[in-house]
Structure 1
Amino acid sequence: MKEGSVRGFRAYTVKHLDDLLRRGGFSEEERLRIRAVAAVLPFRTNAYVVDQLIDWSAVPDDPIFRLVFPQEDMLPEADVTRLAGLLRSNAPNAEIQVAANRVRARLNPHPAGQLDLNVPRVGTEPLPGTQHKYPETVLFFPKQGQTCHAYCTYCFRWAQFIGEPDLKFASDEIGDLVGYLKEHPEVTSVLLTGGDPMIMGEPVLRRYLEPLLEVEQLESIRIGSKSLAYWPQRFVSDPDAGETLRLFSSVAEAGKTLAFMAHFSHPREMEPPVVEAAVAGILSTGAVIRTQAPLIRSINDEPGIWAAMWRRHLTMGMVPYYMFVERDTGPQDYFAVPLARAYEIFRDAYASVSGLCRTVRGPSMSATPGKVCVDGVAEIAGQKVFVLHLIQARDPELVGRPFFARYDPEAVWLTDLRPAFADRFPFEAETAGALLSA
């Protein structure tokens, strides 16, 4: 393929979607209905994913294809038919966007209070592009990092990528963040997230990282990224790959931990040799790579897939960290795995790996009160229940304390559960208070 830039990266967006789908043998009507879904949910991929990760002979069932390409049944059939009709009739784009926005509004575009509940304030003014959900951790969304090398179809931050300014959440005011951190000495860790911060070139990334090195209380800087899976060349052959790794080294030299939070959703993402080279390059800087991904129906909802991923992570020098539950946003109905099945998948995978892989935690829901982990299913006093605990919580007093929910084989999210042996969950009063004070 013809290179799209000096670094060889070529992005594909919705304008390329029809041609790419032809490659998979989709009929004209199938392509139209997939484009209808792409009018609601964002689509972006790149030549590396298309040419090296997707097995086009296995489309549409290929897991990497399903990771990045919309499927017509991701949205309600009536919505897809309505949008497909507008596309078929060459309706004005403004009319298509009005219809698409109606669908988006029903998809919970900002779960867990992303736009308001977690936003810190300086005096009475909110600090844009920043979240302070847990006492010791602040999330920062760099303005230049609000896209990705490719979009995952399950992404809970899909609303960031649809071009609606009111739904974007980002900032380029690193000075304001540093000022806030100095006023909050309890914060010991900052997570740069997005989007994907590694979409930024080294000079821009340096503008965000270097000021944080001067914040004495910080023990760690985290970077959440899918780049090792979708564009590992970022650390190997891109023009600024060497400078980027040297920037990473400067974090360790400043006495802080750089934790690279790598998103791997399927073992195939680690097969190309360039991935191993990229991982080795990052580890050589003194950084730690921790791996995480959601449990996604039709993509990785088998214990063997997770066990294979965790083993491969370990042999490459990475640390298995989290199995997440698909969040209550976007096409959740399409991707969600019931919590009971999620626990079985985690348990069976966990039981088949060595103790060195058992650093992983899950299945975990990143919900409004915190990260809720499903520890198991038990029968207590004649009642079948889920055993749960908070790995992280807005109220640190709740961390690690077990609680119970009535067993529900259909439940896919925390809001589907009802308390067992109590009138309410332990976090509910705390959540109500947080909502009132937000």
Structure 2
Amino acid sequence: DVLDLFRRITRAGIHLAFMAHVNHPRELSTAAVEEAIARIRETGAEVRTQSPLLRNINDRPEVWSEMWQRQVELGCIPYYMFVARDTGAQHYFSVPLVRSWEIFRDAYQRVSGLARTVRGPSMSADPGKVEILGVTKVAGKKVIALRMLQGRNSDWVMRPFFAEYDEKATWLSDLRPAFGDKRFFFEEELEERYCAPNAGWHGRYVNGGRAAVTLAALTAGAWYARKRWLS
């Protein structure tokens, strides 16, 4: 079964991380969940947790601090707080970026170092995974500080950048560069290398089928791993 596959992988000296999607601490309150997490961890795999910040569901700091603390109690590693993607029912679930950061900050302040493995709020946007570092003032001007956690160009990773303060923005493409700059540092290269002609960096990619290709690759990888470790 799956747990046996996990054991075979870890016994072969391979580090295995299981990503658990948890939206609310109530999901961690049942005996079934406790047993499931314990059985996964008994195989030698670690359990990391992530969730989007969702209006009307978990958009309060006390919900997140309680959830992270409970995850640590169960032996899980809090990993990411995501901003709700700019698709589907975003109009219902989205939380403005500034408010998202305030919720993350207030929740982070309530937990010990063991739960401060979590990162966020982050957006899996066109140029890469972007983290909201906070709201600050530079040369007397209020701005939003961000940095790239993952980028289409690895040279972008961990590079900070600034956007004009905007309390209504809910996604990276809603933001405008601070200090009168016309573009964020990544825009020109992103448009030249990854976007369809005249689409703009928040438009369509030349390799627009990348999601289907990635899903196929992951499925094939999972099949290969199962075949290898169960043989």
Question: TM-score normalized by structure 1?
Answer: 0.44
C-alpha displacement at 1:253, in angstroms? 2.0
What is the one-letter code of the residue matched to 1:425? F
- Equivalent position of 2:189 in the other structure: 430
Q: In the alignment, residue 194 of structure 2 is paired with which amino acid?
A: A
Aligned with 2:147 (options 379, 385, 389): 389
Deviation for aligned residue 1:382:
2.1
Letter in 2 for 1:248: F
Deviation at 1:424, TM superposition (A): 0.9
Alignment deviations for residues 202-234 of structure 1 (CA, whole Å, 9 cap, x no partner):
xxxxxxxxxxxxxxxxxxxxxxxxxxxxxxxxx
Give the gaps of 5 or more residues in structure 1: 1-242
Secondary structure at the counterpart of residue 257 of structure 1: coil
Within the candidate set 6, 16, 22, 1:258 is matched to 16
Q: In 1, distance between residues paired with 2:18 and 2:158? A: 25
Per mean C-alpha deviation after superposition, the further-off stretch among 261-270 and 426-435 is 426-435
Q: How much does 1:254 deviate? A: 2.4
In structure 1, the partner of 2:217 is: none
Structure 1 residue corresponding to 2:29, chosen from 255, 271, 283: 271
Quote the residue 1:285 is aligned against. Answer: 43
Bigger RCO (CA 8 Å, 6+ sep): 2
Q: Secondary structure at the match of 2:188?
A: helix
* SS of aligned partner of 2:122: strand
Aligned position for 1:352 = 110
2:182 and 2:44 map into 1 onto residues whose CA distance is 48
Structure 2 counterpart of 1:301? 59
Once residues 426 and 289 of structure 1 are traced to their aligned partners in structure 2, the CA distance between those partners, rounded to angstroms, is 35
- Matched letter for residue 390 of structure 1: M
Q: Measure how far apart 1:429 and its partner are.
A: 1.8
Distance in 2 of aligned mates of 1:286 and 1:431: 40
* Superposed structure 1 runs of 4+ greater than 2 Å apart: none
C-alpha deviation, 1:341, in angstroms: 0.4
Q: Which residue of 2 aligns with 1:405?
A: 163
Equivalent-residue separation in structure 1 for 2:183 and 2:42 (angstroms): 48
1:320 aligns with 2:97: no
1:30-49 residue pairs with structure 2 within 5 A? none
Counterparts of 2:65 and 2:188 in 1: how far apart (Å)? 38
- SS of the residue corresponding to residue 47 of structure 2 reads strand
State the Cα distance separating 1:255 from its structure 2 match.
2.2
Q: Distance in 1 between matches of 2:189 and 2:18?
A: 31
Match of 2:16, SS state, is strand
Residue type of the partner of 2:53? L
Helix, strand or coil: the match of 1:410? coil
- The answer for unaligned runs of 5 or more in structure 2 is 197-205, 208-231
1:329 matched to 2:98? The reply is: no
Deviation at 1:373, TM superposition (A): 0.6
Kindly report which structure 2 residues correspond to 1:155-304, keeping only aligned pairs within 5 A, or say none: 243-304=1-62
Residues 38-73 of structure 1: CA distance to partner in whole angstroms, max 9, x if unpaired?
xxxxxxxxxxxxxxxxxxxxxxxxxxxxxxxxxxxx
Q: 2:161 corresponds to which letter in structure 1?
A: F
Paired residues, number:
196
